[in-house]
Structures are given as structure tokens and as C-alpha cells.
Structure 1
């Protein structure tokens, strides 16, 4: 099993977006021909750190023009660069979707779509900026790989993996500082997942900031005599079918938790897998067909039923359904 953060480190919080510019600078220092193309948000996305590290000639600020940002990145990739794009997720995927589809994916270009500020964890910016459909949009594109890291260390690993993977890759990052889950040297792989906790009674599949909530839920359930198996499905596309199916054959039911709409994201991917290969009762924890709302992260996790308590309730519900099958 993968090495998790120790108890002291698990108490610290860092935003996944904080890994972005620092990792690009690290890659540049290692000789990787990375460039970053941003849409007037170099401070918020942290791509400015690439310039601060002495690689200002590799950072291109296109202004508030996300569609142009994608096309500039496409051109830079054709010149032999590993091109990363940076904006808020609502703009970096939604406003630029046509360019991602028809320029990047249709031609299988080496462009990495790596926006920050995804999900309800944007917080006070509210529903207009809380992108809850991005995984669905990116997952549906032919040739796009989709990664949703749980914490700073996983985001750093996801960005390195994206740089080393030819073709389009989507890396989802957030604004808010979140607890550390993994040890600093964690590595990810396309199509991979990590079994974080073993259990025989229910499978909890999660990713992003919901990993921490899933682990807290597993603690609560254990105190009630329910042993939950927790899987970090950081690779939404391609999905690690083998790891998930092996767990389901042991537990016989599943809860999928994600900081995203229940339509088209991780929950949909797991439901498609189970329907085709191993049908079991399944419940989803996610945002249900609505826009976000302004508030603090912890408030929003509770408001949208995304917290550990919501996962516990979903587990009890799915186990009751399992007993009827």
C-alpha cells in the first residue's frame, strides 16, 4: 500500500494549486521543455513561480482570453514544448472547451489542461466560479486523460506525470488549503488508483478533497463495526478497473464520493464499470444537479452533503440495499 502522511504532517494544510508553479519550475530545472500559458491569473494559479525561478521566457500571459490561451499552448506544443495552461477551472475548461476539443484533442497535441480553483472549494466566489462539471467535460473528450489529485504531494506528482505523458492530460486543482494525505514522495500513474485502507463491508471510491472525508468516514464506521475499504481513484480516465472490481468482489457494495456533480464524473465512471462488469448496489456522494453557493469550505462540504457524515450515511444506505439483493 502507498505511504500516507504521518500524523504530524496530516495536520498541515496546503492547496493543490500551490504545487503548480513550483512543480513547473522544478521540471524546467530538470531540463523538461515545459512552458506555461496563462489567462491573466499567474498569481492565483501560481504559474508566476515559473518566472520567479528564472524561467520568465517560458511563461506566456495571454490576458483574459482563455480560448486564445489554448491555441497559443497548441502552437507551442507543435514547436516541441510541453505546454501547460492555467486559469480557473470554470474558464479554463468551460470557456475554452471548443479549442480543447477541436485543436488539442482532435490533433492529439501535447497540451496539459491544468486549471485551479475547481469545485466548491473555491468558497466565497460562489456558484459562478465553482466549476462542478469540468471532469465530465474533460472525461468525454477522446484521448484526454483525467487526473484529480487529493493533496499537494499528489498534485505535484500529477503534474510531473502529465509532463511525462504524451498528448492531452487534464489535472484538476483547487484553491483552498486542504489536509495532507500522502507522503512527499508519492507517485501516480495514468490508469492507476491507490488502496488506502482495507475493509470487507463496503468500498468507498473517492478522489480530490473527498479522500480526506472518506478516511474520516472510515474511522467513524469502524467505531460502529463497519469496515470500509477506501480507494483513491485519482485517475478518473482511464479508470483503474482492476483495483475497483477486486474491492467490489470483496465488499459487494460501493459509495463514490467526489467534489463534483454526480453527473458525468467519477461516480458515473464507476457506475458504468459496475453495470458492465459486476453490478452491485452503489450510492453517490456529490453535488446533485445544481450550481454552487458562496461560503467557507467546511460550510459548503456540509451544505452540499460532501463531508464525512454524508459518506457515512451513504454507506449505511448502500449496505441496507445490499441486504435486499
Structure 2
């Protein structure tokens, strides 16, 4: 597993552990909850779930389209399936089934894209999941959640169990620090303002939120006041927070571990251009990524505090 270096004083956590532990907690009190996977029990951290609920984990093997179809059948029978699969294969191979079997029927299914973005760095473009936001956003009836830390992962897994609608959520692979305030409630569709600012707004999601906070620190050293929004829900987008940021700071930088077309940046740009046009920069992956460690790839595409701060400085001038 790729480890992303952090400052030695900052504790980091594995969101997959938070996902698995929370799923077990829910299953103990809700007999409807089942897990469906594609020969990914280990990589999804579902070994403990399988041991405690051997009859409630369905492993279909490497057959992702069947996996989603089986989940749809279970949902139709009154179960709440959590479909756990490496995000590139869940969203790529099974896209038609997600559209026709899940979204079209409005089934209560939770699609859990494990190890998204460039988590599988050394395995190359076939295993990079940088298009998943764009593919899933095209299905307008699908809620898209991108937890930024273990706390939000737990909250998202719990919320999804009662959502009564189709949900897609990313579950990150590499360890990241906590960024969610202790007293903050999880509200899908609402952005979290982690830092206030007047000169520029940094809108990030998932693994990029802690890096946006690092960029805000760097900008502050240069006299630039940066607002930081954690956009946990890409669909539906918190348009009110985006418009407020555009109005009050006049500049927006978005950052995501995904292709720059069709994801968070596109969603924010669509909102901005129709309501309050302001200068923007969309940071992400501009094309198919090469093979390399996750740390190398993130730095290669400027998806670090330095790259985010540089884009903000270009806007501020």
C-alpha cells in the first residue's frame, strides 16, 4: 500500500478501517445490511465482517457487473447492500448496471468505491480511478459522497444506511489526517467551512482537504487570506456555499484527486458561471496518469499544498 508522507507530528488514519468497523456496527442492529464484493474481501477490510456475518457477505468473484446486479436483486428484496469494490472497476466495468439497475430503479444501494483516485499508483492507468466523479455525476439521481477523513467516513456510512436512495461514496486507501471539527454534524449536501478567508476560496474534497488547509497556511505567510471549504458532497452540490464564496472572496480554486473534467471543479464551475462568474482554477489530473507511486503522482500533478498555493497566488496576482 502506498503511504503518503505527512508531517511527523500529524497523526494519520486509514478510512477503510473506519468504513469496515462502522459497517459491522450497523449490521449488528440492522439485519437488512449485507456486503457484496468482487473477490475484494481483504482489500475492502471486510474480513471481520465476513467472520461475524458469514451469511451476509456475498462474494461474486471478479464479475463487477454481476455484483451490481446481485445488489439490485437484494435491494428489491428489502436488503440494504453495501457494494464494496475497487473504484475503477466498480464505476468503469459496472457503469451500465449502476445506471439501469441502481439509479433508474432508485434502489437503496450504497456503492463504495475503494482505493479511488491514484491509490493504486504503481499498478498504472488501468487501476487509477480518476474518472469516477465524472461518470457518477452523469447519473443525476445518485448522491456522491467524498469523505475527507475517518470521522466523515463513519458518518457517511451511517447516513447511507438510512438514505433510502442510491449512494456512491469514495473510501480512500492511503492514510490521511483528521480535518473534521469535533462538534460538526454530518449533513449531506452541505459544505464545511474549515477556515475563513477574504482573498480566495479553496474548495477541496476527500484526500485533498488536508492539503488545501496546508496551502492556506502557506498563503497566510504571504499575507493571503484563504477560505477552505470541504465539499464532502459533490452531488448534490452546496451551491449556496459556492455562490457565497464567489461573492465574498472573488476567486476560487478547486482541487480533487480526479480528472479535471466532469468532477468537483466542473460542478463548481457550472454553478459559478450561472450565478456569480469569478476567476477560477481547477486542479486535478489533466489526462491519463503515468505509472508511479501515489506520492509521486500527487506531486507530479501539483496536488499538494505547494501546488494549491501556487494556483491561488496566480489568481490573486
Shorter-chain TM-score above 0.5: yes
- Equivalent positions of 1:62-141 (< 5 A) are 62-141=60-139
CA distance in structure 2 between the aligned counterparts of 1:152 and 1:122, rounded to whole angstroms = 20
- Equivalent positions of 1:218-229 (< 5 A) are 218-229=216-227
- Equivalent positions of 1:97-246 (< 5 A) are 97-182=95-180, 187-246=185-244
What CA deviation, in whole Å up to 9, does each residue of 1:233-279 have, x standing for no partner? 01000001112211221101100010001000000000000001110
Please, which runs of 5 or more residues in structure 2 have no aligned partner?
1-6
Q: Report SS of the residue matched to 1:44.
A: coil
Matching of residue 313 in structure 1 with residue 310 in structure 2: yes
After the TM superposition, which of the residue ranges 26-35 and 203-212 deviates more from structure 2? 26-35
- Conserved 8 A contact 1:205-1:232: yes
CA distance in structure 2 between the aligned counterparts of 1:278 and 1:48, rounded to whole angstroms = 49
Q: Report the count of equivalent residues.
A: 311
After the TM superposition, which of the residue ranges 166-175 and 219-228 deviates more from structure 2? 166-175
**Which of residues 274, 277, 288 in structure 2 aligns to 1:291?**
288
CA distance in structure 2 between the aligned counterparts of 1:184 and 1:297, rounded to whole angstroms = 29
- Conserved 8 A contact 1:153-1:186: no
What CA deviation, in whole Å up to 9, does each residue of 1:275-314 have, x standing for no partner? 01110001011000x2223333322211111111111111
Please, which runs of 5 or more residues in structure 1 have no aligned partner?
1-7, 321-325
Where does residue 3 of structure 2 map in the other structure? none
- Conserved 8 A contact 2:246-2:277: no
CA distance 1:132–1:237, change in 2 (3 Å): same
CA distance in structure 2 between the aligned counterparts of 1:181 and 1:220, rounded to whole angstroms = 17
Please identify runs of 4+ aligned residues in structure 1 that moved more than 4 A: 183-186
TM-score (norm 1): 0.92
